[in-house]
């Protein structure tokens, strides 16, 4: 069977290796990280917390994991990773119950994130509306609802042609509405959940993902709107996964950077990878190559020799600056602080914080022998806006030292959780804290091609980048720049979250779908008789199809959307 070289060992690379292995291909994976697998999805051992037992650390992470119910691709792969006793990694997913929106100086809004199944659930919805109405006007709510209804009843052609070119801020009319409208309904969604700037994020992407969450909430039998793992990511998912891959014959090489793609006779003839520990550079050769590194890592690999074979790959260079930071900080507390059984959005936070109290979802995970033995809960916080001034220190997170980031995040959390004299968080609760180790000074290589293609400002931004693993952001009018999983180079395929997918978002789901598409193309060109990987479309309720059909007629006639309900 043909040999496939997978360059990059994040979720996309592991997914490609998994699907290829199941179909009989010989697979080698080269992963940059010398210790962990899974890329941004990994959890880590927090340095210095193996105090009681030298082999047991507190768990840290790049950012908390989130598996909404519309994820189909990554969860399908999880179902094929065995745990024993007839169970799979998929069985380690558990559903949350609520989403809480914290507000400085006001009571939080707590909303069920599944379809209401009791009078209490319904009452909570109306209570949330009543509380929200203290800031949001009836006109604000009705206007936003109208914008959402338009998205629900628009045809896919209007998404591609019209909404792709409109920023979410513009589409939602945020500039002409109240600050509460902007903060709670517009910015909260984009900054906190997908690390996008509302002013530049494509309405096509943000609107589509928002609708998927709404459809899940309105589905009576759906209890998986928001799911998390029942243990740290490595324990619940990635360790069983890498064990399964290697058991099935996948050769996995950790600690290797991808240096170059080599060409000969109109195709890829090999790739050079460098051992980070020793500096040794080796040439790896296969029949097919899957490039699964992130966009900012792929850009320096686009040499003139590569572009001579496929000029469209120059768009990868153009996309490279379209990344944002979304990184985690964990607080390890000596007091049980659960907040709510789900995620919390901090609507008054300048750094766009979201959090989840994780231990409540880890019933079998023992913290008593980790750290100093006093930790009973883990408050995991994602920071999504690194370029705005803090609420208290008036500095962007990207300009702060780690201690400054910790202090500012903690103050922002207390600002929104300590309400009406109730102290939810106090300084004496903190035993340890950990900021994602990806936040460090680095220099992104700038090749001559990148220097010519990108503006001086874009090159400067890449040079001062301090996040080793930022997220791609789908800005307006960038869909056509994004490549397909196949290229004009007959043995080179792309599997990363910047590839065109139905998911259309930098997520584990998008990475897995891209990998499946790359594998399907390898199956076709290799002449393999193996089954193709399944690809799922985004969910579209049948009751909306007639409205979308009417809009398609309007669109084909050059008419704007019209409410026909």
- Which residues does residue 60 pair with via DSSP β-bridges, in sequence order? 44
Give the pLDDT score at 112. Answer: 59
Burial class (CB in 10 A: 0-12, 13-18, 19+), 106: middle
Reported as half-sphere exposure (CB side, CA atoms, 13 A), residue 71 has a value of: 25
Q: Are 384 and 191 in contact (CB under 8 A)?
A: yes
Burial 168-179 (b: 16+ CB within 10 A, else e): bbebbbbeebee
Distance CA 169, CA 147 (A): 12
Determine the pLDDT at residue 119.
42
Q: Fill in the DSSP letter of residue 544.
A: G
Identify whether the C-beta of residue 16 lies closer than 8 Å to the C-beta of residue 290: yes
Query: 191 burial class (0-12, 13-18, 19+ CB within 10 angstroms)?
Result: buried
What confidence score (pLDDT) does residue 447 get? 67
How many other CB atoms are found less than 10 A from the CB of residue 398? 17
pLDDT value at position 145?
82
* Residue 327 token pair: 């990184």
- List the one residue out of 417, 483, 355 whose CA is nearest residue 107: 417
Query: In this predicted structure, what is the pLDDT of residue 136?
Result: 72
Q: How far is Cα of residue 20 from the mean position of the Cα atoms in its chain? A: 24
Output the tens digit of pLDDT for each of the chain's 565 residues: 899 999 999 999 999 999 999 999 999 999 999 999 998 899 999 999 999 999 999 999 987 788 988 999 999 999 999 998 999 999 999 998 877 777 776 666 666 555 444 445 534 543 454 455 566 777 887 888 888 889 989 999 999 999 999 999 999 999 999 887 887 778 765 555 555 566 778 999 989 988 887 777 666 555 577 899 999 999 999 999 999 999 999 999 999 999 999 999 999 999 999 999 999 999 999 999 999 999 999 999 999 999 999 999 999 999 988 887 788 899 999 999 988 888 888 888 999 899 999 999 999 999 999 999 999 999 999 998 888 899 999 999 888 888 999 999 999 999 999 988 889 999 999 999 999 887 765 555 666 666 666 677 666 655 443 556 777 778 888 999 999 999 999 999 999 989 999 999 888 999 999 999 999 999 999 999 999 999 999 988 888 899 999 999 999 999 999 987 6
Helices vs strands, H then E, count in the chain = 19, 23
Q: What is the pLDDT of residue 263?
A: 98
CB-side neighbour CA atoms (13 Å) of 494? 26
Instruction: Show contacts of 304-309: CB within 8 Å, 24+ apart.
Output: 304/449, 305/263, 306/261, 306/263, 306/489, 307/449, 309/263, 309/266, 309/267, 309/488, 309/489
SS3 readout for 181-204? HHHHHHHHHHHHHHCCCCCCEEHH
pTM confidence score: 0.90
Domain ranges of the chain: 117-220
| C-alpha pair distances (Å), 211 with each of 112, 193, 231, 482 | 16, 14, 29, 23
CA distances from 258 to 29, 274, 389, 540 (A): 11, 7, 36, 40
pLDDT value, residue 111: 60
> Rounded to whole angstroms, how far apart are CA atoms 429 and 79?
38
CB 246 within 8 A of CB 259: no
Q: Look at residue 212 in the predicted model and tell me its pLDDT.
A: 86
HEC profile of 396-453 = EHHHCCHHHHHHHHHHHHHHHHCCCCCCCCCHHHEEEEEECCCECCCCCCCCHHHHHH
The stretches of 231-365 forming alpha helices (DSSP H) are: 233, 239-247, 295-298, 304-309, 314-319
Alpha carbon distances (Å) from 344 to 106, 336, 509: 15, 16, 22
């Amino acid at each position: 069977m043909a040999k496939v070289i997978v360059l990059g060992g994040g979720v996309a690379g592991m997914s490609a290796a998994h699907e290829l292995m199941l179909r009989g291909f010989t697979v080698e994976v080269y992963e940059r990280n010398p210790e962990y697998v899974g890329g941004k999805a990994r959890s880590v051992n927090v340095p210095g917390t193996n105090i009681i037992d030298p082999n047991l650390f507190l768990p840290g992470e790049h950012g908390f994991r989130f598996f909404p119910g519309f994820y189909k691709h990554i969860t399908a792969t999880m179902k094929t990773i065995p745990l024993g006793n007839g169970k799979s990694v998929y069985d380690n997913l558990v559903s949350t119950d609520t989403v809480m929106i914290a507000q400085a100086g006001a009571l939080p809004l707590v909303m069920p994130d599944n379809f209401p199944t009791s009078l209490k659930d319904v009452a909570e919805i109306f209570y949330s509306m009543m509380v929200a109405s203290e800031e949001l006007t009836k006109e604000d709510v009705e206007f936003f609802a109208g914008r959402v209804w338009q998205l629900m009843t628009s045809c896919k052609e209007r998404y591609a042609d019209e909404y792709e070119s409109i920023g979410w801020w513009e589409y939602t009319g945020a500039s002409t509405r109240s600050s509460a409208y902007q903060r709670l309904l517009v910015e909260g969604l984009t900054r906190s959940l997908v690390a996008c700037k509302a002013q530049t994020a494509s309405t096509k992407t943000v609107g589509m993902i928002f609708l998927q969450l709404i459809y899940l909430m309105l589905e009576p039998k759906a209890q998986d709107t928001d799911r998390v793992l029942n243990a740290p990511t490595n324990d619940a998912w990635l360790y069983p996964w890498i064990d399964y891959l290697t058991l099935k014959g996948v050769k996995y090489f950790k600690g290797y950077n991808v240096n170059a793609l080599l060409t000969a006779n109109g195709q890829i003839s090999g790739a050079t990878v460098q051992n980070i520990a020793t500096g040794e550079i080796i040439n790896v050769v296969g029949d097919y190559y899957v490039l699964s590194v992130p966009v900012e890592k792929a850009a320096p690999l686009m040499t003139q020799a590569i572009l001579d074979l496929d000029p469209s790959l120059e768009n990868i260079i153009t996309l490279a600056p379209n990344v944002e930071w979304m990184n985690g900080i964990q607080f390890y507390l000596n007091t049980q602080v659960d907040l709510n059984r789900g995620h919390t959005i901090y609507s008054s936070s300048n750094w766009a914080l979201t959090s989840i109290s994780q231990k409540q979802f880890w019933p079998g995970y023992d913290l008593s022998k980790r750290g100093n033995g006093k930790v009973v809960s883990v408050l995991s916080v994602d920071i999504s806006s690194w370029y705005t001034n803090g609420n208290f220190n008036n500095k962007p997170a990207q300009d702060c030292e780690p201690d400054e980031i910790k202090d500012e995040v903690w103050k922002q959390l207390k600002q929104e959780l300590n309400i009406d004299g109730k102290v939810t968080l106090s300084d004496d609760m903190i035993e340890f804290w950990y900021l994602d180790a990806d936040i460090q000074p680095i220099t992104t290589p700038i090749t001559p091609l990148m220097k010519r293609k990108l503006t001086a400002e874009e090159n400067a931004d890449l040079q001062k980048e301090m996040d080793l693993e930022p997220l791609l952001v789908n800005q307006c009018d960038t869909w056509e720049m994004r490549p397909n999983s196949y290229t004009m180079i007959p043995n080179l395929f792309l599997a990363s979250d910047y590839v065109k997918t139905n998911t259309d978002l930098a997520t584990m789901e998008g990475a897995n779908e891209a990998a499946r598409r790359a594998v399907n193309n390898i199956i076709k060109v290799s002449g393999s008789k193996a089954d193709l990987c399944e690809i799922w479309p985004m969910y579209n309720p049948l009751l909306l199809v007639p409205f979308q059909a009417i809009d398609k007629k309007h669109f084909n006639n050059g008419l704007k959307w019209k409410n026909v309900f």
